[in-house]
Amino acid sequence: MAVFTGAGVAIITPFKANGDVDFDCFTQIIEDQIAGGTDAIVVCGTTGEAATLSHEEHLDVIRHCVKVVNGRIPVVAGTGSNCTETAVYLSTEAEKMGVDAMLVVTPYYNKGTQKGLYEHYKIVAESVSKPIIIYNVPSRTGCTIKPETIVKICKEIPNVVGVKDATGNISEVAHLAAMADGCVDIYSGNDDQIVPLLALGGIGVISVLSNVAPKQTHDICQKFFDGDVKGACKAQLDAVPLVDALFSEVNPIPVKKAMELLGKCSGVLRRPLTEMEPEHAEVLKQAMKEYGIL
């Protein structure tokens, strides 16, 4: 059974003015997501600024999320690292907290060969019993896990069940889906490619857009699942200008600004991320108004 189908939000981590995690604000954001129809919470990923959280903060954020969600929808915790031992540590600790699955990014900087990637996922997966979703995002990691490696991992390692594909390469996704023959749950990692990936057999999206538009993102998927492909396509295309604005600077700079504009968080970022450029912020604000969420 899939970890989730539909729209999982790659949720932000809100910070106070002094840079500490704002857990009260985080609670409200989670509640808003659930009320908006989000199908899963993906915590401590790229959008959650996991790279600048200490291990203690990382685990505290996961623990808080699990507690607030309280089983209402699945919680998927980002527990990847470029160090296999660290990924094992974060994954085993997250499992103790009651997460439903882990999202494990391919190792970055030191990268690894395809053999090394296979061994990395095998070691991490064997340390836990919960499902693992591979996160393939070469634009950030400098590392691409090939479709044949993903299929090999999912066929040979029982609890590695799927992939979040943020390659942007639809042809590669098509090859993956053809080779996988149903053994890999494919999630879009790009908000402008939800419907194309669903059309290739994908089962959902791990979404930045869902932070500011949970119902609309959920509905893109649900319309497709319900057979309203034309409606899903229209909803996808209607969101494109806002998605473009949300990625006009490095994620999560724009989505943090969007959440600030909605009054849902302070918008504070941790360095090296910096405040959104005024001209980009104005475009984002206008896109949010035209989309009907501001």
Q: Which are the catalytic amino acids?
A: 135, 164
Strand ranges for the chain from DSSP E: 6-10, 40-43, 75-78, 101-105, 132-136, 160-165, 185-188, 204-207
71: which residues sit within 8 A by CB, 6+ positions away?
A: none
Task: Report the alpha-carbon distance of residue 118 to residue 113 in Å, rounded.
Answer: 9
237: which residues sit within 8 A by CB, 6+ positions away?
A: none
Give CA separation, 213 vs 43, 195, 197, in Å.
Answer: 17, 16, 20
The residue among 288, 294, 265 whose CA lies nearest residue 22 is 265
For residues 87 and 80, the answer to whether their CB atoms sit within 8 Å is: yes
Residue the block writes with tokens 């857990």? 23
Q: How far is CA 116 from the centre of its chain?
A: 24
Cα atoms in the 13 Å half-sphere on the side-chain side of 10 = 26
Task: Report the alpha-carbon distance of residue 60 to residue 273 in Å, rounded.
Answer: 22
The torsion angles phi and psi of 70, rounded to 5 degrees, stand at 55, 45
The residue among 226, 204, 220 whose CA lies nearest residue 6 is 204
The residue among 15, 19, 17, 45 whose CA lies nearest residue 29 is 15
Token output for 161: 């069940």
